[in-house]
Chains A and B, each alone.
Chain A
Amino acid sequence: MNPPLRALAVLAASALAMTACAPGSSAPPAATSAQPSASSVRTDAAALGNVTLTIWDQEVRGGQAAQMKQLNDAFQAKYPNIKINRVSRSFDDLNTTLRLALSGNEPPDIVEANNGRSSMGAFVKAGQLRPLDAYAEAYGWKKRYPQSVLRYSSYSADGKTFGDGNLYGLPQVGEVVGVFYNKAKLAKLGLQQPATWADFDAALAKAKTAGEVPMQLGNLDKWPAIHVFGTVQSRGVPADQISALAFGRKGASWNTPENTKAAEELVGWVDKGYFNKGFNGQGYDPAWQAFGKGEGVFLIGGTWLLADLQKALGKDLGFMLPPGTAAGAPPVATGGTGLPFAITAKSPNPDAAAAYIDFITNADAMKVLTTTGNLPVADTAQQSVPAGPQQDVFTAFGTVTAKDGLVPYLDYATPTFADTLGAALQDLLAKKQTPQEFLATLEKDYKTFVESNG
């Protein structure tokens, strides 16, 4: 045999030898049966002895990092027996490494796991996260958090049902997708903040006639149009239908007249020239930065843009929930939470871990979050913030959560839906697909998943 052939033979032989055992662990740790009752939970963290908690978070930027450091310091000061070993990584890095870390023998005690099916759902399915219901009862978390928020980190024990079942994590911050607007430009156009969806459409039309860019969109990164579509969709499609679709539940369908109307309305916006030119080739960041520089009257975006936009536009920046079809209609908006903090099934110190999660999400913590420029997910109405865009955002989030009007991000639906929906929306907006073809693409992914999910 010549050397390359020999190498191939060795390779083939070793590959065959290894196919004997399947990858992955066969038996998930029996976390569900080990769930303690509320009475057996020890909530006195000071009495837990010397413990070290390893915590993986993704709070690396500005105000996020500041609140985390402040809360960690306060926790250490209060409970000197518990040592915090903080590992902080960017969102992308955490997402790509968490899977490996959790399948190891000594995973971190607490991790920030993305809510969706491909992260938290998969971890629950593999039995790697601990259900927190006993702790929720002991600490009163279900009173602290609105139900529309808690469901974002709830799964059935087998990981198949999202939005219902056991509680697997608690988030610190809230997010809602609404409409940012440029107050100065609205005033120049002689317009008020639109009170209804029809007003909003009229404002877009008037901005177009006046030669302004009515709405900024940067859709090069594939996902940004998801938020715009979600906003249009939640005007016409009932909230419970959107929730069923977005949580990947059985029984809903994309092929409905309401969804068709939403897709048609979005295409209509393209036809009427409501978006900036070349939006499919514009990056997400350049788009909102352009809005910050005063190009464009409206921007559909999430509250996470507040700090940067406020820096750029100051008092000219306004934020509102997407207006309803009628003036007094209950608010519905796409939104959710920051990444929830979850306890791993293999953690030897679940009581200490739960005490930590309680500490960074209690009423005092929410105040810390506010002062460091974040949007706290609970007690939002109790926070005092200066009048202006930040107050607009707090009011909007408080209103929509109080009335359980948050609908989930559409890309939660299936593990592949972010990609399917993002690509399909690029196709729709570029008129490569008709609204019917667009919805058929979504329906196919959704149905395939729902059927295999059982």
Chain B
Amino acid sequence: MSGGRPPGEPRRVAYLYLLPAFAVYAVFLLYPIGRAVQLSLYDWDGLSLGRWVGLDNYLAIVADEGLRAAFGHALVLVVFYAAAPLAIGLGLAAILNHAKVRGLGFFRTVVFLPQVVAMVVVAVAWRRVYAPDGTLNTLLGALGLDSLTRGWLGDYTFALPAVGVVGTWFESGLVTVLLLAGMSRIPGELYEAARLDGAGAVREFFAVTLPSVRGEIAVALTLTVIAALRTFDLVYVTTRGGPGDSTSVPSYEVYHRAFGLSQIGSAAAIGVTLTVVIFVISFGINRFADRRVS
């Protein structure tokens, strides 16, 4: 026994192997993050000398009603981007998997299709759907529901849900395909055993299917929640945060403040806060999923 040294090279040397990768990581990720943190502590217009304001920009996020509302809107979008697609995805995937549908590949492609299209294109298309003379209102008119027609994206009550529905439409396919992949790996014997125990389709779903795809659910939630919180392109193209400020979200505020209003410090503070929120939430989701599996 020569000391407690593990075999191979000493630790200090081993770290050297990590250095090149770390250098790249530091230059392209850590430095920009550090710089953003630094900028968030200044009042800076991007041109003249910045003025040190400490945590004022962060306090403004808490104090500014409009900014608080923006974070609130992002949370509403989480319902539309993550919760609704998860419910729809679970249902669709269970049916597609259970019924062994003919042409499964075709259906899988169809539900996944929105993911292939760039969000900006999606947003432009939905803007036409929601327009006062758009598809949705035409449809409602044809059904004799003229009283419901409105300029959806210009309506204070419906603008945010209308934006959210686009997210639901966009993310449902991704969630479905993810869950479908998970479900197809569940051994058939489990279902046979459940059936022998007298379980119906519903019981089967909750006893066998749902627990087996917990990992996939965690992945799906992580992806969709992050997508919801950092929504930018959809809001930028459809409503620019309007009407009034009823659909503004943090990412849009970052862009708007940095490039529109030249309040770089404030924009950086919102960006940093958003990063922390996203980090905490996705960390929580994965912690939760891990613990339940083990």
Binding site for B on A (CB under 8 A): 7, 10-11, 14-15, 18-19, 22-26, 28, 95-96, 99-100, 102-103, 118, 122-123, 125-126, 128, 219-222, 276-283, 286, 290, 415-416, 418-419, 422-424, 426-427, 430, 432
The reply to whether the CB of B214 lies closer than 8 angstroms to some CB of chain A is no
Besides A100-B46, A222-B240, 17 more A-B contacts (Cβ < 8 Å) are A15-B37, A22-B49, A22-B50, A23-B39, A25-B49, A102-B47, A122-B45, A122-B46, A220-B127, A220-B239, A222-B242, A279-B132, A281-B131, A282-B131, A282-B132, A426-B154, A430-B154
Known: A118-B260, A222-B240. A22 touches B48 (CB 8 A): no
Contact A11 B151 (CB under 8 A): no
Minimum CB–CB distance from A405 to chain B (whole Å) comes to 30
Quick one: which of B226-258 are within 8 Å of A by CB?
239-245, 256
Q: Which residues of B contact A426 (CB under 8 A)?
A: 154, 242-244
Contact A280 B243 (CB under 8 A): yes
Partner of A219, one of B35, B133, B154, B261: B154
Q: Main secondary structure on chain A at its contact with chain B?
A: helix
Contact B127 A125 (CB under 8 A): no
B 49-71 binary contact with A (CB < 8 Å = 1; else 0): 11110000000000000000000
Minimum CB–CB distance from A108 to chain B (whole Å) comes to 16
A418 to B26 CA separation, bound complex (whole angstroms) = 39
Contact A18 B256 (CB under 8 A): no
Q: Which residues of B contact A280 (CB under 8 A)?
A: 151, 154-155, 242-243
The reply to whether the CB of B130 lies closer than 8 angstroms to some CB of chain A is yes
Q: Which residues of A contact B242 (CB under 8 A)?
A: 220, 222, 280, 422-423, 426
A221 to B244 CA separation, bound complex (whole angstroms) = 11
Contact B150 A278 (CB under 8 A): yes
- Which residue of B41, B131, B159 has the most chain A CB atoms within 10 A of its CB atom? B131
Known: A14-B30, A278-B150. A23 touches B155 (CB 8 A): no
Q: Which residues of A contact B33 (CB under 8 A)?
A: 11, 15
Q: Which residues of B contact A222 (CB under 8 A)?
A: 240-242
Contact B154 A22 (CB under 8 A): no
Quick one: which of B128-177 are within 8 Å of A by CB?
130-133, 137, 149-156, 159
A103 to B240 CA separation, bound complex (whole angstroms) = 28
Contact A22 B42 (CB under 8 A): yes
Q: Which residues of B contact A24 (CB under 8 A)?
A: 44-50
The reply to whether the CB of B97 lies closer than 8 angstroms to some CB of chain A is no
Minimum CB–CB distance from B34 to chain A (whole Å) comes to 4
A277 to B34 CA separation, bound complex (whole angstroms) = 49
The reply to whether the CB of B212 lies closer than 8 angstroms to some CB of chain A is no
Partner of A23, one of B50, B152, B159, B243: B50
A422 to B154 CA separation, bound complex (whole angstroms) = 13
Partner of B47, one of A18, A125, A290, A416: A125
Known: A128-B47, A277-B132. A415 touches B151 (CB 8 A): no
Minimum CB–CB distance from B228 to chain A (whole Å) comes to 22
Known: A10-B30, A118-B260, A278-B151. A430 touches B156 (CB 8 A): yes
Contact A282 B154 (CB under 8 A): yes
A/B interface sample: 12 pairs, CB < 8 A:
A10-B26, A14-B30, A23-B38, A24-B47, A95-B259, A118-B261, A125-B48, A126-B48, A219-B154, A220-B243, A278-B154, A279-B132
Partner of A26, one of B46, B49, B137, B262: B49
Contact B243 A427 (CB under 8 A): yes
Residue of A nearest to B150 (CB): A278
Known: A23-B39, A280-B151. A432 touches B244 (CB 8 A): yes
Minimum CB–CB distance from A420 to chain B (whole Å) comes to 10
Known: A11-B33, A426-B243. A96 touches B153 (CB 8 A): no
- Which residue of A23, A26, A220, A415 has the most chain B CB atoms within 10 A of its CB atom? A23
Q: Which residues of A contact B46 (CB under 8 A)?
A: 24, 99-100, 103, 122
A426 to B245 CA separation, bound complex (whole angstroms) = 9
- Which residue of A15, A19, A432 has the most chain B CB atoms within 10 A of its CB atom? A15
Residue of A nearest to B37 (CB): A15
Minimum CB–CB distance from A348 to chain B (whole Å) comes to 21
Q: Which residues of B contact A221 (CB under 8 A)?
A: 240
A278 to B239 CA separation, bound complex (whole angstroms) = 14
A19 to B52 CA separation, bound complex (whole angstroms) = 9
Query: What 5 A-B pairs are tightest by C-beta distance, nearest first?
Result: A281-B151, A278-B151, A281-B154, A280-B154, A278-B132
Contact A220 B151 (CB under 8 A): yes
Minimum CB–CB distance from A403 to chain B (whole Å) comes to 34
A213 to B7 CA separation, bound complex (whole angstroms) = 85
Minimum CB–CB distance from A155 to chain B (whole Å) comes to 14
A282 to B137 CA separation, bound complex (whole angstroms) = 12
The reply to whether the CB of B288 lies closer than 8 angstroms to some CB of chain A is no
A25 to B44 CA separation, bound complex (whole angstroms) = 11
Partner of A419, one of B132, B152, B256: B256
The reply to whether the CB of B107 lies closer than 8 angstroms to some CB of chain A is no
A286 to B153 CA separation, bound complex (whole angstroms) = 14
A125 to B45 CA separation, bound complex (whole angstroms) = 11
Minimum CB–CB distance from A222 to chain B (whole Å) comes to 5
Residue of B nearest to A414 (CB): B261
